[in-house]
Amino acid sequence: MIDTNATRKYGSYPLYDRTQRAIHVVIAGAGPSGIALAIELKKIANVTFQIYEKNQDVGGTWFENRYPGAACDVASHAYQYTFECKKDWTRHFAPAEEIGDYFISVARKYGLYEHIRFDSQITGAVWNEDEAIWSIEVLQKTPVEPTQVQADVFVNAGGILNDWKWPDIMGLSKFAGKLLHTASWDHSFDWADKNIAVIGSGATSIQVVPQMQPKARKLEVFVRSPTYIIPRVGFGVESSTFNAPYLQDEVSRFQNDPKYYKVFRKKVEQQMNENFMGSVKNSQAQRDGRKWAEGLMRDSLQSKELQDKLIPDWELGCRRLTPGQPYLHAVQQPNVHVERTPITRVTPEGIETTDGVLHNFDAIVCATGFSASFSARFDIVGSGNQNLRQLWTKGAPEAYLGLAISGFPNYFVMLGPNCPIANGSLVPCIEYGAKYIAQVLKKMQTDQIRKLDVKKKMQDAFNDYTQNVHQDLVWSGSCHSWYKDSQSGRVTAVWPGSSIHYMEMIDTPRWEDFDIDYVNENPFAFMGNGVSKREALGKDLTFYLDSMPED
């Protein structure tokens, strides 16, 4: 056996060890993306990591969003990791509490809690070029003073829909009644027998309106831009009631018949991924899908006035397609009014619209979503002292494959600009992103890489390609959507293809797209003294014959 403590006698280099470089990773956020990445990192020898989470528990948006009716608008069985199946979902579209519990259970099972510091918000990150280290400022509740931590690699897994904001409406803060945002719900609020305004027409509004309608005296829904609302649940649910609980017999079969469950889940996700073909403008699939969606909405809305107000006149999928039979029922009740006249301002008494009418309310509910700028809540300062927030304020956010940004070495983002947020099944794409970053870390270890930085030329080429492809896809359509940059109209949120296309594209990193610096002056010094670790440890030296046929 080779003496590992005396390997220098074989030359001036140490033993060739593919994991010899220790790497420390800091992750911002313990939501679905942060959890997936942490599980991948636990598989890599000599890699340590620390997650900083601003909330009191894991789950990200599923920890925070607990407004009445909060639920996933994706089939529950498709909104989970491929390696950790929950088979006892109670409904086709699970409530937020159940989804949150799922991610808690995964974090516990994989031993992630010891790697997470809660009530800890990252407030800044600066790249140190000389040391090839990220210096990261963390503000914790205890101690209150910010602390500095360092990382070889910094990953932002904070998510897209995480930074909620009040709508930019003049006078909003002057409203004398109760003002709520769905992403920061006050559970002590009782809306019974009150006049309520709901601002917004996205998935959140579609979920909260049916919950408030039965008890409110009057409910007025302000819709700036309509969206396609599908009254049906989707594959695999045989029920006359929208999103009714699964029958216990069905849940038991999911749990006790693995083959049946696998077929069921594959059919659910097959349908989701097939839907991408309808995202091509002017395609037959788009025409058929739009006719189908419009027909379903007309059948559900008896009033032509509501049909005109709520059925879009743009491409199906330009804005997120949302299931919502209870919403279509609620807006037809006598105590509900859908208002399409734009809002001018908010007064202490209520909302004034552009026609001069003042609508009086006891409470205003802002179902207006999140900041979708992709910029973190904090400053990220990369090479040349460039600030990412300032960079993306000047122009539309741009990244490389939704995973990295040129000029910010050893920095990665989960679900960054032009990620597959609306292209099919999402959670497998998150897993592929985590595996991509894991491959980068292994490469940094094996080749003793000091830093990787995406070439600006390659990032620009990718974004040119992205915008060219999007001209033929529905997300560049005529709707108003957070998928597009409000200034330039560029599609900044959505991948230029299907989810399957994304997973295949990032399956193997394109190392030629990176500028790479090495720890050693000679880039091949990582090859060591010519002796492999396998030899040094006296392991089988005929491993390459293991797959040799025996007959």
Mean pLDDT per 10-residue section of the chain, whose length is 551 residues: 41 69 96 98 97 96 93 93 97 95 98 97 96 96 86 94 86 97 95 97 95 98 94 51 87 96 95 93 95 94 96 94 93 98 98 98 93 80 95 90 98 96 94 98 95 98 98 95 89 96 98 96 89 88 93 77
Distance CA 253, CA 255 (A): 5
* Amino acid letter, 177: G
Confidence at residue 241, expressed as pLDDT on a 0 to 100 scale: 66
Could you tell me which residues are beta bridge partners of residue 454?
A: 514
Would you list the DSSP string of 198-210?
EE--SHHHHHHHH
Rg (C-alpha) for the chain, rounded Å, is 26
Which pLDDT score is estimated for 1? 38
pLDDT of residue 12: 58
Per-residue confidence (pLDDT) for residue 418, from 0 to 100: 96
Q: Is the Cβ–Cβ distance between 526 and 447 less than 8 Å? A: yes
Cis omega (within 30 of 0) for bond into 143: yes
The per-residue pLDDT for 377 is 82
Q: Where are the beta strands (DSSP E) in 206-356?
A: 218-222, 229-230, 322-323, 336-339, 343-346, 350-353
- The structure tokens listed for 119 are 């009530």
pLDDT of residue 232: 61
What pLDDT does residue 10 have? 42
Domain ranges of the chain: 1-16+528-551, 19-58+112-163+372-521, 172-248+275-366
What's the pLDDT at 295? 94
- The dihedrals phi and psi of 4, each to the nearest 5 degrees, come to -70, -20
Q: Which CATH superfamily is domain 19-58+112-163+372-521 in?
A: FAD/NAD(P)-binding domain (3.50.50.60)
Q: What is the 3-state secondary structure (H, E, C) of 409-453?
A: CCEEECCCCCEECCCCCCHHHHHHHHHHHHHHHHHHHHCCEEEEE
The predicted structure's pLDDT at residue 233: 54
Question: What does the pLDDT read at residue 548?
Answer: 93
Beta-carbon-side half-sphere exposure of residue 451 (alpha carbons within 13 Å): 22
Any idea which architecture 172-248+275-366 has in CATH?
3-Layer(bba) Sandwich (3.50)
Sheet holding 358-360, edge to edge: 343-346, 350-353, 358-360
pLDDT at position 340: 97
pLDDT at 239: 44
